[in-house]
Structure 1
């Protein structure tokens, strides 16, 4: 749970062109997860937020159903997680979107390159990955 900075993605239509994208995850008493996605359209723009609810698969905690609009749930999967929980790749079974995320606003280039390679090994077209600029405003959230 906690704060995750979006470092790169094959974005959804809502995420395309965003900067300072950060997701906050909080476990609810009923086992569902509140997801607070904050971003900017430009570095100086006002922050925008999009809330949703995640439902963890009872048989596999790496598979989530995320609900933006009731009753539609989208499939999200924890496809790769660093042993120290500092970086994650979130993927979809359809391979239409993917997210490279980190606990920090930046990643060393060697770590980023390794994660991009991993995304490619999962069957994604890495040429479609878009870097998400993270500015000083991100550190305050």
Structure 2
């Protein structure tokens, strides 16, 4: 005859709770809308300087306190050169160079690496950079990815009006981003 000790019951109960938690987290993810990149972007129009208007806090931007910009240029091999810059709390400007690789025919889904050129072949070292929304004049853009971990609102100008900002925040919310995590970036221009 099979008998169970009290500790066996607690192990089984703990396992059932863990499974229930796992399934409920999958269910919550399934309910969250999947971000969708725009169908295509004109990389030549997208190239140039963008000001960061708002972002989700991230480890690699931990030293940045203001004046964050991103500059893009199309390389001869069709990749995109990336130069991100920002001001630290000491007032020093710092920058990071990277390269973006298109992942779709419309160039709206990119993978970006900031590793040195000789190390960019290493798997899992590129981040998603999806253009989720862009106005027809290429003045304001919403950028994120499928994981909901990253989000940026970018503009060609250092400041945008409140209604434009709220419209892009709403697009992010519609895609399932937790917009309460958005931090507006001070621009001193």
TM-score (norm 1): 0.90
Q: Which has the higher contact order (CA 8 A, sep 6+)?
A: 1
- What is the distance in 2 between the residues matched to 1:58 and 1:8? 26
**Going by fraction, where is strand more abundant, 1 or 2?**
1
- The residue correspondences of 1:36-115 to structure 2 (distance < 5 A) are 36-42=83-89, 45-69=91-115, 70=120, 71=122, 72-115=125-168
Aligned with 1:53: secondary structure? strand
TM-score (norm 2): 0.68
Greater CA deviation, 71-80 or 85-94? Answer: 71-80
Q: Which runs of 4+ in 1 moved over 4 A?
A: none
The answer to whether 1:21 aligns with 2:68 is: yes
**Going by fraction, where is helix more abundant, 1 or 2?**
2
- What is the distance in 2 between the residues matched to 1:18 and 1:95? 22
For structure 2, the 5+ residue unaligned runs are 1-46
For structure 1, the 5+ residue unaligned runs are 137-141
Aligned residue pairs total 135
Q: Tell me by how many angstroms 1:60 deviates.
A: 3.2
Q: Tell me by how many angstroms 1:59 deviates.
A: 2.4
**Whose radius of gyration is greater, 1 or 2?**
2
Q: Tell me by how many angstroms 1:84 deviates.
A: 1.2
- What is the distance in 2 between the residues matched to 1:102 and 1:25? 13
